[in-house]
Amino acid sequence: NAGVMQNPRHLVRRRGQEARLRCSPMKGHSHVYWYRQLPEEGLKFMVYLQKENIIDESGMPKERFSAEFPKEGPSILRIQQVVRGDSAAYFCASSRRAEPYEQYFGPGTRLTVT
Amino acid sequence: TQLLEQSPQFLSIQEGENLTVYCNSSSVFSSLQWYRQEPGEGPVLLVTVVTGGEVKKLKRLTFQFGDARKDSSLHITAAQPGDTGLYLCAGGPSGTYKYIFGTGTRLKVLA
């Protein structure tokens, strides 16, 4: 009964490199959400995806950030040309239904940009 | 902007004491969830409340959803050091699938 899986748990990148964060939702869940949590701050919504579709990316920065949830495989959050301000914990959540109802979270990926 | 405000922001109490955490909004929510997050981990779902006036109990934790579905409370009886953590309320405003998180309450229970 695996929960939401995220990898890697910790990721260190130098400024200008690319970061790829992976998320495998819970079994039976086809809705995936990405959140960012800055130190001592709350969780901020970034993007909501269903299989092969981006439903809402209103919380995602317009540049350098992209997300996908292919038909096969995990959801990917991609950050190009990382900057120090991208350092944060990135959490993925999944839900069974297309409502804001019972999202289950993964353990997060802690990105550090040096 | 729809917000979920939590109070208090920080709480430090002795083992055995009772406490209540509040989550308030000016918006109506179709459902509201409470999570606990420990350092270095993701939020763990504690409970979901859906119906106005609903009360749910989880061992020593009692959750209540306001009649108007705009606010909620979490009451812990006889707190234990294992209850230490960041408590977050979250919910989906009516008519949208977007999740909003509260500002969080950091609880520390001293032995």
pLDDT value at residue B39:
87
Interchain CB contact of A40 with B (< 8 Å): no
Reference A102, options B72, B46, B64; nearest CA is B46
Q: State what percent of residues in chain B have pLDDT above 90.
A: 77
Contact A56 B97 (CB under 8 A): yes
Q: Which of A43, A100, A102 sits opposite B98 (nearest CB)?
A: A100
Alpha helices in A1-114 (DSSP H): none
- Rounded CA-CA distance B46/B63 in Å is 10
Tens-place pLDDT, residues B85-105: 999 999 887 777 678 899 899
Task: Write out chain A residues lying below 8 Å of B33, CB-based.
Answer: 102-103
Q: Which of A4, A42, A103 sits opposite B103 (nearest CB)?
A: A42
Find all residues with CB under 8 Å of B51, minimum gap 6, and list them.
B65
pLDDT confidence bin for A2, thresholds 50/70/90: confident
pLDDT value at residue A98:
67
- Rounded CA-CA distance B43/B9 in Å is 17
Degrees to nearest 5, angle at CA B30 with A23 and B23: 85
- Rounded CA-CA distance A27/A75 in Å is 14
Tens-place pLDDT, residues A39-76: 777 889 999 999 889 999 989 999 999 999 999 999 99
**In chain A, which residue's Cα lies nearest the Cα of B99?**
A100
Task: Write out chain A residues lying below 8 Å of B31, CB-based.
Answer: 99-102
**In chain B, which residue's Cα lies nearest the Cα of A31?**
B97
Mean pLDDT of the B72-90 span: 96
- Rounded CA-CA distance B19/B23 in Å is 14
Mean pLDDT of the B39-44 span: 91
Q: Does the structure show a pLDDT above 70 at A99?
A: no
Q: Does the structure show a pLDDT above 60 at B1?
A: no
Reference B25, options B68, B55, B88; nearest CA is B68
- Taking 3-state DSSP, the helix, strand and coil percentages for chain B, each rounded to the nearest 5, stand at 5, 55, 40
